[in-house]
Amino acid sequence: MKGQIAFVSIAAPLFCLLLLSCGRDSNRLYGHWKLLPGKSVSIDPWADLVLDIHGDGTHVTIVKRYSGGNTHDRRVDSMTVNTEGNEEIVPIPPGRWLGEVSMGIYYGPETKRHVLARMSDSNNEMHIDTRETLETAQGETDVEVKETYALVSDGSTVQLSENRSTRRSGPPLTYTFTRATQ
């Protein structure tokens, strides 16, 4: 009996870890994704956008890598947030706003991003709601962004749709990514 208890006490956590690990691997949103420009809204002046999504079941790290005409023109937007519906505050380095670098909008020295992230039960959809205060020519403005990362059924494509409180016209901000190797 003592031996059985010992076995269970060791095996159970291992089983849970295995489940978690399987869960991690089974989230098919995780991976390395490359933008398909022909199926996305323009990202001009950037030439490329690469998306990395990784997580451990409770937290997710989203990295967007923008690149332009030469090796110096690189920007990385990275954040790690929990996906259990608790708001987190993520600091952002100062510089031009990545929403559209051709607009005179800046992240100030104190800019923070308030983030609420949720993963769907099926792990095929992730919702990220953010609020941030940005610097403009006239002062500051609050912007709310709702992003949905949705895995397309074949598992090889992710569609990102973005809804920005300040963007009230123009083509829908939708981006299509295809799975890529690192």
Taking the least distance from each CB to other proteins, the nearer of 37 and 57 is 37
Q: Residue numbers of the site for other proteins (CB under 8 A)?
A: 41-42, 44-46, 66, 68, 70, 72-75, 94-96, 100-106, 108-109, 134-139, 141, 143, 164, 166-171
Taking the least distance from each CB to other proteins, the nearer of 87 and 140 is 140
Q: Write down the least CB distance from residue 112 to other proteins, Å.
A: 16
Cα 153 from chain centre:
19
Phi/psi region, residue 67 (left: phi>0; alpha: psi -120 to 50; beta: rest), is: beta
Taking the least distance from each CB to other proteins, the nearer of 3 and 170 is 170
Contact 93, 110 (CB under 8 A): no
Phi/psi region, residue 24 (left: phi>0; alpha: psi -120 to 50; beta: rest), is: alpha
Q: Write down the least CB distance from residue 40 to other proteins, Å.
A: 12
Measured between its terminal Cα atoms, the distance across the chain in Å is 49
Q: Write down the least CB distance from residue 54 to other proteins, Å.
A: 25
Taking the least distance from each CB to other proteins, the nearer of 30 and 175 is 175
Cα 64 from chain centre:
7
